[in-house]
Structure 1
Amino acid sequence: MALIKKLFVAGVVVTLVAAGGFSWWTKHSLTTGGEPIEFTINPGSGVAASAQQMVAAGVPINPTMFRLLARLTGDAGRIKAGSYELKPNTSPRRLLTQLVNGEFSHEAVTIIEGWTFRQMRQAISGHDRLKHDTVKLTDQELMAKISTEFKEPEGMFFPDTYLFAKGSSEIEIYRRAHQAMLDHLNAAWEKRNKALPYKSPYEALIMASIVEKETGQKSERNMIAGVFVNRLRTGMLLQTDPTVIYGMGASYAGQIRKKDLQTDTPYNTYTRGGLPPTPIALPGLQSLHAALEPAETPALYFVARGDGTSQFSNNLPDHNRAVNRYQRGITTQ
């Protein structure tokens, strides 16, 4: 009887020590320094498979104890597949929380205001952490996977920085950027002045893309838009070089010649009236707002001063004098 008592007491002590050790293990860091350890939990993985995948990736976890922790907390069936990072000073309990909450490690791809869709595709296809599942698609085939309303992709994606889990599909980035552009465009359209000479939000988007390419000065975008709106209202040609450059495509070599201005393309606003058929770039939020909230101005012309700003003129004689002064270095009275 005494032996049984001793064995019982010993068993209790061992259990308490083991429980204390297990509790200590769940709360203390798996690593204390070094670089984060990347690992991936595959779709359909249970807690046992997840633990083995972490070990295989170099995570210093005890698979048996991790499975026990997950079962004791009721989280064994809640682990989410995805890409993760084990950062220094992460405990097993915190690691399990990451997996249950789906706190994926994020990569980023940045789409720049004023880029063309071609440049956007290059940035996305060149990102080594994305799943490249659109590379063989034409622009129109790619667009068909994203929208049933829009056929041409130019201008239809919002320039921003997009976070994603490693291995995400390229199409996910395109869908998010497209939806972001629609959201911003429609919100701006709802607040527009109804007297603006646009028949649709798409026409406003075309104007925003022209404003985006015409100036890097944020403070001048509303004035630039005001000039072009005035020209549309009066039936003047827009005569904007960025549309000509876009229409030239690969033949553009960094300089516009007189014959380029005279060569007709759908985008040559020196030879064709109104807006071009599509946007010419990816406009940012300020250009969208400028197109739909243009400055109220009598100006019909502007010319670059050479310092990044523009000289605006209300009539052709004043504009010609501005061109002489700022482009040709000729001062006239």
Structure 2
Amino acid sequence: MRRAIGVFVIWAGGMALLATLFFAVSEAYRFWQMPVAESPVPVVVERGETMRDVAASIHAVNPALPEAVIYWTARFRGQSRAIQSGEYEIAAGERLGRLLDRMAAGDVVEYSLTIPEGVTARRFLEIVGSAPHIERTLEDLSPEGVIEALELPVEHLEGWLYPDTYRYSAGTTDRQLIRLAHRKMREALDGAWSARAEGLPVDSPYEALILASVIERETAVPDERGEVAGVFVNRLERGMRLQTDPTVIYGMGDDYDGVLLSRHLREDTPYNTYTRDGLPPTPIALPSKDSLVAATRPEETDALFFVADGTGGHHFSRSLDEHNRAVLRWRAHQRGEAVAR
């Protein structure tokens, strides 16, 4: 009898354990199928947080989802030590398993920052300085301050940052973005220089960078860049001054108010290519990859001059007489007059 009772007790205990286990699995399955959020909700995992901290953050989004279930689910799936820090967006209807998979993969929210082609390095730094979710680590975001803080191997920052659309996660530092932009420009310049045409009147990658920046500022028409580069190459080879307005404007700095007068072309600065021979001393903007290619593989042309044609592009001329006629047409266009070709 005692043996039978003992067997019954063991059996009853086993059944109770099985029932408890079945109930626990059923409840866990119910929680696993439960949407963590009905609509998109952000959740942040800070550096150094434990899985219990993460479970608490998820529980705060959906109090019906117990912290213990979140914690032990991650432990059961081997993800409790794999969760990466960052900002996540819990998708509408997303279940716990999928969320934990994304957290373990570091599928964080990304933001984008667009640096237009042809802006200055100073403007690049202003955009970075005002961008959301970037961690500020640099006290001085001037070009000189950045060179010193990041110990960049350049004397002038102008031209050395790559204009592009950058994607970044919350907590990315200003240093990281600036270093990335500098590295991308180095790579783009090295690639263009290694594939350069023979016999160019530029002697170094830096001179090619300077020329590319001038090309970038001279035309907004991508198909013209090669011909603009060809004109500048022709002038440099003939010892002619570049005589390009964007360099004059750059040299004027804060004195430029949006209007370039003829007297400005006569005022000598290191960047005035009407009064000085050769290239300006530094780049005048951040050139695009296409402008780097144009500077190192210019289009062959007989043209020595170009001027705006009123359609957004330029008229290219081989002689000064032809150029002067094109200038008259451009000025008439500005005045709204009609001039015969």
- After TM superposition, is the score higher than 0.5? yes
TM-score computed with the length of structure 1 as normaliser = 0.93
Counterpart-to-counterpart distance in 1, 2:32 and 2:69: 9
Contact 1:262–1:271 (Cα < 8 Å) also in 2: yes
More displaced stretch, 179-188 vs 81-90 = 81-90
* Number of the residue aligned with 2:312: 308
More displaced stretch, 73-82 vs 131-140 = 131-140
Contact 1:156–1:181 (Cα < 8 Å) also in 2: yes
TM-score computed with the length of structure 2 as normaliser = 0.91
Structure 1 residue 10 displacement after superposition: 2.7
* Number of the residue aligned with 2:214: 210
Matched, 1:12 2:15: no
* Number of the residue aligned with 2:288: 284
Structure 1 residue 245 displacement after superposition: 0.5
* Number of the residue aligned with 1:26: 32
* Number of the residue aligned with 1:134: 138
Structure 1 residue 138 displacement after superposition: 3.3
* Number of the residue aligned with 1:245: 249
Question: CA deviation digits over 1:85-108, x for unaligned, max 9?
Answer: 211122111111122111111111
Change (3 A) 1:266 1:86: same
Which residue, 222, 236, 243 being the options, matches 2:240? 236
Matched, 1:263 2:267: yes
Question: CA deviation digits over 1:243-284, x for unaligned, max 9?
Answer: 000110111111111211111111110011111111111111
Aligned residues: 330
Question: CA deviation digits over 1:5-26, x for unaligned, max 9?
Answer: 2342132022123113313423
- Aligned-residue CA RMSD (Å): 1.8
Contact 1:321–1:332 (Cα < 8 Å) also in 2: no
Query: Structure 2: any 5+ residue segments left out of the alignment?
Result: none
AA of the residue aligned to 2:311: D
Query: Structure 1: any 5+ residue segments left out of the alignment?
Result: none
* Number of the residue aligned with 1:117: 121
Counterpart-to-counterpart distance in 2, 1:193 and 1:146: 33
Q: Equivalences for 1:1-333 in 2 at 5 Å?
A: 1=5, 2-32=8-38, 34=39, 36-56=40-60, 58=61, 60=63, 61-328=65-332, 331=339
Counterpart-to-counterpart distance in 2, 1:138 and 1:256: 26
Structure 1 residue 79 displacement after superposition: 1.6
- The percentage of counterpart residues that share the same residue type is 38
Which is greater in Rg?
Answer: 2
Structure 1 residue 39 displacement after superposition: 2.0
Counterpart-to-counterpart distance in 1, 2:152 and 2:313: 40
Structure 1 residue 50 displacement after superposition: 2.0
Change (3 A) 1:241 1:250: same
Counterpart-to-counterpart distance in 2, 1:38 and 1:114: 36
Question: CA deviation digits over 1:150-184, x for unaligned, max 9?
Answer: 12111111111111111221111111111111111
